[in-house]
Amino acid sequence: MGDLVEGDDGLPAEDVGPWAIEKHEYLCRYIDISRGARRKFIGPGKAGATYIDLYCGPGRALVRKGQFIDGSCVAAWRKSVEGGSPFSQVFIADKDELRLNAATERLRAVGAPVVSFHGSAVDTVKQILKRLEPGGLHFAFLDPYSLGVLDFEIFKTLTLRKRMDILVHLSKMDLQRNLGRNLAADASAFDAFAPGWRTAIDAAQGQQGIRVELINYWKSLVAAAGVSASPEMKLLKGQQDQHLYWLLLVASHDLAHRFWKVAAKTDKQEAFDF
């Protein structure tokens, strides 16, 4: 989570690295590519197509060196409008009320049908679920600042809706930097991210093997929830070429995975690079 600065519109904005631009490009590519499928659910008498952002931030960001850009929720809404298939509703949430209020105001200013929820992702997702039409098409963007707040209960809740596509940010830097601490702690961030991990992986092996087993175990939990994690992922890097995080899709429908394969511009299957 970056520091807050004054935005170019007078509202709080978040200080971010230049990799945020690339992240939003992939998000918007997926939204654009899936516009035809979304259009089938939009209109009078139809179940609707929703956008969900549980870590929405303030909706505006300052990329270091001075460029302001839309935050994920605003960028997603704008792209859906641009493609002629605007989301029927936009559900956003954040545990920071200042960030949430700024994002809500920005979305309203551009005409988005936004509903906001204040609280942690694991709590607000349950409130949002009650507002989601069972027959609708739903797309969630999960962009947390650490693995520890990506509680697996979020996935279990979202996947209670049949047509739920989830683009998720998995922090490779967090996995690498804090691995030793999480292995040693009685209460580990991994407990929420991949419940049951202690009995599922061999913690006595080298760190690379542990990371591989942990992610593969998480993917098995995803599969048990009735969805699958895409083999295509994008590794986003920092200015010094350091590995930051992966973006990948979690969905039950093959069409969604095909959309993501195009959006990610991956011509072949890739494995997680540890």
Question: Residues 178-205: pLDDT tens digits?
Answer: 888 888 888 888 999 999 999 999 988 9
Give the up-direction half-sphere exposure of residue 239: CA atoms within 13 A in the CB hemisphere.
8
Average pLDDT of the segment spanning 51-66: 94
Distance of CA 83 to the CA centre of its chain: 21
Residue range(s) defining the domain that contains residue 100: 4-175+226-263
Report if residue 202 sits inside a domain. no
The answer to whether 113 and 104 have CB atoms below 8 angstroms apart is no
Predicted confidence at residue 272, as pLDDT, reads 42
pLDDT classification of 267: cutoffs 50, 70, 90: very low
Average pLDDT of the segment spanning 32-60: 97
The answer to whether 165 and 253 have CB atoms below 8 angstroms apart is yes
- In this model, does residue 273 exceed pLDDT 80? no
114-118 and 89-94 beta bridge pairing: parallel
For all residues of the chain together, what is the average pLDDT? 93
Predicted confidence at residue 2, as pLDDT, reads 78
Per-residue pLDDT tens over the stretch 206-223: 988 998 899 999 999 999
Report if residue 259 sits inside a domain. yes
Report if residue 128 sits inside a domain. yes
Report if residue 208 sits inside a domain. no
The answer to whether 222 and 228 have CB atoms below 8 angstroms apart is yes
3-state class (DSSP) for residue 3: coil
The CA–CA distances, whole Å, from 263 to 25, 28, 237, 266 equal 9, 9, 18, 8
Q: Which of 111, 80, 122, 234 is nearest to 167 (CA)?
A: 234
Average pLDDT of the segment spanning 104-128: 98
Predicted confidence at residue 177, as pLDDT, reads 85
Predicted confidence at residue 178, as pLDDT, reads 87
Report if residue 187 sits inside a domain. no
CA distance 82 to 229: 28
- In this model, does residue 271 exceed pLDDT 50? no
- In this model, does residue 274 exceed pLDDT 70? no
Quick one: three-class SS letters along 174-203?
HHHHCHHHHHHCCCCCHHHHCCCHHHHCCC
DSSP assignments along 201-255, one per residue: S-TTS-HHHHHHHHHHHHHHHHHHTT-EEEEEEEEEE-TTS-EEEEEEEEES-HH
Average pLDDT of the segment spanning 234-249: 88
Report if residue 78 sits inside a domain. yes
DSSP, res 147:
G
Q: Which residues on neighbouring strands pair with residue 118, listed in sequence order? A: 94
CB atoms within 10 A of CB 181: 10
Domains of the chain: total: 1
Per-residue pLDDT tens over the stretch 75-111: 999 999 999 999 999 999 999 999 999 999 999 999 9
Report if residue 90 sits inside a domain. yes
pLDDT classification of 268: cutoffs 50, 70, 90: very low
- In this model, does residue 174 exceed pLDDT 90? no
Report if residue 216 sits inside a domain. no
CATH of the domain at 59: 3.40.50.150
